[in-house]
A and B are shown apart, each in its own frame.
Chain A
Amino acid sequence: MHSVVLTKGVPDFREGQVSFDEDGHLERGDTPTVMNPNDKFALRAALQTKVRHGGRVSLASMGPPGYKEILQEGMRDVYADDLYLLSDREMGAADTWATAMTLATGIDQFEEEPDLLFAGFKTADGETGHTGPQTAWCLDWPTITHVVAFEVDETERTIRAKRLVEGDVSEIETVEAPLPAFVVTDPEFEASYRTARERLRYKDFRAETQERAAAYEDHLTVWDHEDLNLDPDYIGLDGSPTIVAGVDPIPKAPSEREATMVDPDEMDPVFEELQPFAGAD
């Protein structure tokens, strides 16, 4: 099984990492870029496929040269056999459509056709959730979104997935699709290893990938638009039918709440007052 996982670098929005200016605009220079957290679920899904069925996990992204470290992060924190970065100036400032076109061309370029393409549920910055499905559309592969668990039948060449359908009452829907297929993991996705052999393989892979991540560039392939035989008019800013017209600052959080310590002794009269109402009687 060859799994390809798509990822993107995003600002680290965690408390203590992210930085905003006075107007509430993100200060990119002061905020570290990290692997989109949702994409780690996708990478874990790909690792589960490798643990159960063997094969290879490729982690791919389109972005500036600094994204090499995003790929390294995925290799170190979860797993990857090899890394692919689609990167040159012509690809810059792409919208989701141009990005999808580029990624799909990259996936077409793999010597071994992928069986599964994984992506996380939307990026932490753009939050469009478009790039993955558009890539699958370009490839003409079936798409399964909000996947929380799945199984692959190698003989039948099918994937059977449980997807979370949120509504007034959340439901789990089971769907089946032929391979190759595109899978969007839900943040509720949890890899499941119920046999010792799977867990031992998982442990081996985790140890190997951490070692590999220390020299990740040995496992990295960088493709520019010429490698992919892409016309610059159809990628990057020139190939983007949409532009970002403006950015509104994030509204400030409501006024801070204060907690006051209460002397436990002062609470005694309150407890006494409430005593008659307590209990099942």
Chain B
Amino acid sequence: MTDDYEHYEAVVVGAGPGGAAAAVQLANNGVETLVLERGVESGSKNVSGGLIYAEESAPYTIDGLFPEFRAAASERPVTNYYLHNVAGERVKTFDVTPLHEHDTEWSDAVLRRKMDSWLEQRVHEETRETGGGLLTGVRVNGLLREGGEIVGVTCDELEPITADLIVAADGVNSELARDAGLMDWEEPDEWFQGVKAVVDMPAGAVEERFDIDEDEGVAHLFSGDLFEGARGGGFLYTNESTLSIGTVFHLDSIVDESVEPQQLLDRLLTHPLLAQWLGDDYTELEYGAKLVPDSKKVANPSPHRGRLLLVGDAAGQMQAQGPIIKGMNHAVTAGALAAEAFVEARSRGDPTDAGERYEHKLESEGVMAKLRPRRYELAATLGENDTVTSITDSLLQSPLGRIGVRAADKLGVLDWGYTSPFLAMMMPDTRTPYVTMPRVIAEELGTRVTDESTVEPPALDERIGDLTYDVDDPHIELVDESYEASGAAVTACPVSAEDFGGGCYRAETIQTNGSTERVVSLDTQPCVECGTCAVVAETDWDHPPGGKGVEFKQG
């Protein structure tokens, strides 16, 4: 029956860095490759913090696969990296450049629309040579099966397509990974949520305010008490003529603390420490959001089923451990390894063996060890429980703990601790390293910032108003509208808020038969497709059709 359908040797779903790497590597090996991207252009559906790394230990890098990449598609290299511990207006800064440079060949800030649309052109040219090519505006909505076996994909816009290899590089909300039962959207503690503002800078201001040359760039990280106790931190990266400023929090923490992500971003933007960089003329170009898988918990050690291989966020391959935030580089490596696995399997006459080979390569090339470090798993069993957290937190905040912090600073232990990749890998996901420790350090060792911030970030309705949407029918269905089941979405959704009527989720009190009930209502028009509500609320979550929904111009 499926014989009547179009057939390609390989179909790659999603044209981000993972999909691009897979596609170009397949094309280089003469595999007829079709790439399907649901955005109007690659990058229009993507948001990232924005640093891409080339690791010394990795078998593949983006500029290895796309030689002109750094000159054409990225912003500035990160030449200095700082971590700021914040307690009120007191700040203690550490230079963590050595940690950043560990295993790093280079690292550049990127804006995804520019980066991915550049990749799109290269990928189309390369894959077209094989008889395939890249199509935008096509949403793959599921797997095509025959006799229970995965044989291809189904799309909103095209007839079903069969393939010998299906690479799902369709992002954090991968519909293919879920269709195959390889990922779910169940537990908030398996995810982070990031929100970001891209801020315009006047000509020459990036160089002047950050004291850097044209070919230099800076990364700043922020942690401490500026985020209402939510576990996570902030970042600022310099682009060519803009800044990427954002926050990333554990999603369970956002839910538990009932914090509004966009307000936490505003707390960072308006902190006096940032006044020196933002000046008096704050212009926000774009507000965006993204769900981030926590690879320590969800990186799938066996990300394949039959002909389907998962790559990048779709496989949970996003490493976020304290100050180490790496995703795109792992997606690139995984994409190229998936291609390599298929090419080998095909040459040995058994293309169905690609999945096993891919899994083996992820292990042997050290990718899995980075995504799910053994040291973290051991430390987590010891350190990630409430009793240990409250004991360490109480101790840190006690006079004795504070003396310890001061002594550690004198001995240089803090500098060492903050630049140790060994320690970063075992950092527990508790409030101790994110909130308590930075706050105590800033209180004991920090200096007061004297600048005053004049930054007035746009209100949420303005941020939504500035985004571009091609609105379609609702693509998310609220399955349970009770506040108990879905109320968390009202605060956690980055384009919704309590007492705000113009967002996605809204809480309402309705009267029924004399009693009152709190319910949640949903309007998907301003949706930024981050997927947060799929985890924190009871929804039936799909992407909009190809070319529809939000269109990021910066990303």
Contacts and interface: CB of A to CB of B under 8 A. Distances in A.
Interface of A: 194-197, 199-200, 203-204
Nearest to B157: A194
A134 to B, nearest CB: 39
12 contacts: A194-B158, A195-B6, A195-B159, A196-B133, A196-B135, A196-B158, A196-B161, A199-B135, A200-B132, A203-B124, A203-B135, A204-B128
Contacts of B138: 196, 199
Q: Which 6 A-B pairs have the closest CB atoms?
A: A200-B133, A199-B135, A194-B159, A195-B6, A196-B34, A195-B159
Interface in B366-393: none
B118 interface: no
Interface of B: 6, 8, 34, 36, 124, 128, 132-133, 135, 138, 157-159, 161
Contacts of B135: 196, 199-200, 203
Contacts of A196: 6, 8, 34, 36, 133, 135, 138, 158, 161
Residue from A196, A197, A203, A204 whose CB has the most chain B CB atoms within 10 Å: A196
Contacts of A194: 157-159
Contacts, number: 28
Contacts of A197: 6
Nearest to B135: A199
Nearest to B510: A279
A200 B159 CA distance: 14
A204 B133 CA distance: 10
B128 A199 contact: no
A139 to B, nearest CB: 36
Contacts of B132: 200
Contacts of A195: 6, 158-159
A181 B128 CA distance: 35
A35 to B, nearest CB: 24
A197 B11 CA distance: 13
Contacts of B124: 203
A196 B134 CA distance: 9
A196 B33 CA distance: 11
Contacts of A204: 128
A196 B159 CA distance: 8
A49 B6 CA distance: 19
A187 B138 CA distance: 25
Contacts of B158: 194-196, 199
Nearest to A198: B158
A203 B157 CA distance: 15
Given A196-B158, A200-B128, 15 more contacts: A194-B158, A194-B159, A195-B159, A196-B8, A196-B34, A196-B36, A196-B133, A196-B135, A196-B138, A199-B135, A199-B138, A200-B132, A200-B135, A203-B124, A203-B133
Contacts of A200: 34, 128, 132-133, 135
A194 B34 CA distance: 15
A118 B128 CA distance: 31
A204 B36 CA distance: 16
B334 to A, nearest CB: 24
Contacts of A199: 135, 138, 158
